[in-house]
Amino acid sequence: MTTGVQMGSTRRDVESFDFGFERDWFAMPSEYGEGELWARDLVERLLPDAAPDDVAARALRFQLARVHQNLAEMPVLDLTGVVWVPEPESGYAGAVAGFALSDLTSEDSPEAVVAAAEASRGQIINGSSYLEVEPWRGEIEGVGPFVGVRELLSHPDEDQPGTTGIEERAVYTVFPTGAAQAVQIFFSAESIASFQDIRKQTQPIVETLRVKLVGVPA
């Protein structure tokens, strides 16, 4: 039986939340137009001995600026982004993650998220083909239930018209107990080889989530 979120005076707004990312995840600036300067500074930190014409450093700067621009252009209120750079000397970032709050209605529930994910399998949505969709459910101790969805999508390649690119991502929706908002976080691989198992490598990060509700002692 599907059980929606019971809205009312007992539901409290989320005051703050955070994830415990590892040291090879780096925060991105929130403002549009700051990406190139941020990318340059981060590459200088990660590759301090790189020469000005170093191929890996140049490639990483370009990629970081691009992922920042892509995230900044997403129509999501107060979206926070981080990027995973496990091997900076390779010249490539591994993945990007973005997270934000989403207001809940009486129709929202873990069951509804699973149903929507199942319905997207094999569909074309906003130009993207949902080739594989694998939802699952879990619980974060002290926080509440969540739904994770692994997706494999095919997108038109804007840089090479007539071709398509493949994206693997994991999308999580967490329903903190007593909260009026859900916490949503996605992980998008920069390469199909970025993750050996995107579910096993991203769920432990999601499980570090801590949420503070307005008026509730920490």
CA distance 133 to 135: 7
* Average pLDDT, integer, range 98-126: 96
CA distances from 164 to 16, 124, 153, 154, 160 (A): 39, 13, 10, 6, 8
pLDDT category of residue 1 using cuts at 50, 70 and 90: very low
Contact assessment for residue 178 and residue 194, using Cβ atoms and an 8 Å cutoff? no
Contact assessment for residue 184 and residue 171, using Cβ atoms and an 8 Å cutoff? yes
CA distances from 56 to 70, 86, 92, 95 (A): 21, 14, 8, 17
Percent of the chain exceeding pLDDT 70 equals 93
Domains observed in the chain: 15-213 (3.40.1000.10)
Mean pLDDT of all residues belonging to the chain: 92
7-24 tens-digit pLDDT:
455 899 999 999 999 999
pLDDT category of residue 150 using cuts at 50, 70 and 90: very high
pLDDT reading at 89 higher than 80: yes
* Residue 182, token pair as written in the block: 């859900």
Q: 0.85 cut: is pTM over it?
A: yes
Residue type, 208: T
pLDDT category of residue 160 using cuts at 50, 70 and 90: low
* Residue 195, token pair as written in the block: 């993750």
CA distance 151 to 173: 14
CA distance 86 to 208: 19
